[in-house]
Amino acid sequence: MSYYLLRHEINEDDIYVNIEQQGPLELLSEGKTPRISKIYYQGKNSTDYISLGGFGVSYNAMSFFKKECGENVSFVPTVIYSKDTDEPLNIYLMKINIELDCVDYEKSELFVLSDKIIRGVDKMVLKTDINEDIFTIKNLSRIFINESLKDKMINYGLKGFEFVPIEKFTF
């Protein structure tokens, strides 16, 4: 089975939360209260993947993932505001409840410090015994999906998601 990293694809004028606003979204997704009262977004065009930090998604995407992934995902509802008009937008911070220790460290080329967190990837190889549609990898806070879920997302028409094959995933 093939696996893909879910990456945020921002097209011109798509709605997105910029990098400076990501920290507060991550705090909200952890059930904590950020120090700022409003989180702002930019852009005007509707999309389903709104924010990398906290994995913010639209109602449409949240409904899809709940239906397809069941208890493997959970959501924290929140509101973000337009930087230009202060208009509110409801989004859902997605938490993946499956974390796998599935990296084949012998075949992968990774940069890992003593804290065991993966800080760089030149080549990632996964073990072959993965039976999940959606998951995160231990020590790497990214979402990965299998080919079946990718195809369902495309057929459902979700926007703003880029699917990076695991063999092409680097950072």
Bridge partner residues of 110 (DSSP) = 121
Predicted local distance difference test score (pLDDT) of residue 63? 98
pLDDT of residue 37: 75
Each of the 171 residues of the chain gets a pLDDT tens digit; together they read: 799 999 989 899 999 887 777 777 777 777 777 777 788 899 999 999 997 666 889 999 999 999 999 999 999 898 999 999 999 999 999 999 999 999 998 999 999 888 888 989 999 999 888 999 999 999 888 899 999 999 999 999 999 999 999 999 888
pTM for the model: 0.87
The 161-165 sheet, strands edge to edge: 99-100, 134-137, 140-146, 3-8, 161-165
Give me the helix-helix angle, 59-69 and 147-156, nearest 10°.
Answer: 140
* Beta-carbon contacts of residue 37 (< 8 Å; ≥ 6 apart): none
Q: Tell me the torsion sign for CA atoms 130, 126, 10, 157.
A: negative
**Predicted local distance difference test score (pLDDT) of residue 94:** 92
Query: Around 29, how many Cα atoms within 13 Å sit in the side-chain half-sphere?
Result: 23
Give the per-residue pLDDT at 53: 62
pLDDT at residue number 117: 87
State residue 171's pLDDT score.
Answer: 86
* Residue spans per domain, the chain: 3-168
Q: Please report the DSSP string for 11-28 in residue order.
A: -TTB-B--GGGHHHHHHH
Amino acid identity, position 137: I
Closest Cα to residue 146, out of 165, 170, 159? 165
Q: How far apart are CA 28 and CA 122, in angstroms?
A: 31
